[in-house]
């Protein structure tokens, strides 16, 4: 599923989950945050998940995931969860990341990316 960032403005109450790696990369590039993921070493059990909360959208919380360092290629890549601010608070988005971290056994949660210039 390819999602154009303009759709976020057109559908302020809609939720999206982008789990296809190619589509997630395309979306993260289009909002210019793909390069915000830092290079980190895999965890001792063989992989790592990084998460960022992007707050640049006026209508949505954008929770971004990077899975890397896992043995199987299909377990590596990007995913995005887009949550409407009309239904979820910033605390809800952070709780989602904390719960994912707890269930996955250890991840890196980076600082929020808020109101960054899209130059």
The tens digit of pLDDT for each residue in 24-81 reads 999 999 999 988 887 766 666 667 888 999 999 999 999 999 988 888 889 899 999 9
pLDDT for 86 equals 97
Q: CB-based burial of residue 84 (10 Å sphere; 0-12 exposed, 13-18 middle, 19+ buried)?
A: middle
- On whether residue 45 sits in a domain, the answer given is yes
- On whether residue 117 sits in a domain, the answer given is no
The tens digit of pLDDT for each residue in 81-98 reads 999 999 999 999 999 998
**Distance between CA atoms of residues 2 and 116, nearest Å:** 23
pLDDT for 116 equals 40
Does residue 106 surpass a pLDDT of 60?
no
Please, where are the H alpha helices in 12-113?
A: 21-30, 90-104
pLDDT for 5 equals 86
pLDDT for 4 equals 86
Give residue 119's pLDDT band: very low, low, confident or very high (50, 70, 90): very low
Domain that holds residue 91: 6-109
pTM metric for this prediction: 0.82
Domain count, the chain: 1
- Asked whether 38 and 67 are in contact (CB, 8 A), the reply is no
Question: What SS3 class is residue 28?
Answer: helix
């Amino acid at each position: 599923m390819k999602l154009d960032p303009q759709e976020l403005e057109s559908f302020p109450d809609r939720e999206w989950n982008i789990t296809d790696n190619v589509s997630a990369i395309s979306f993260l590039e289009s909002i210019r945050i793909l390069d915000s993921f830092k290079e980190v070493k895999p965890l001792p059990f063989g992989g790592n998940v990084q998460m960022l909360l992007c707050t640049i959208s006026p209508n949505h919380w954008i929770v971004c995931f990077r899975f890397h360092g896992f043995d199987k290629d299909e377990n590596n890549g990007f995913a995005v969860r887009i949550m409407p601010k009309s239904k979820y608070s910033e605390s809800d988005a952070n709780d989602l990341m904390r719960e994912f971290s707890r269930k996955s056994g250890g991840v890196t949660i980076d600082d929020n990316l808020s109101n960054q210039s899209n130059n």
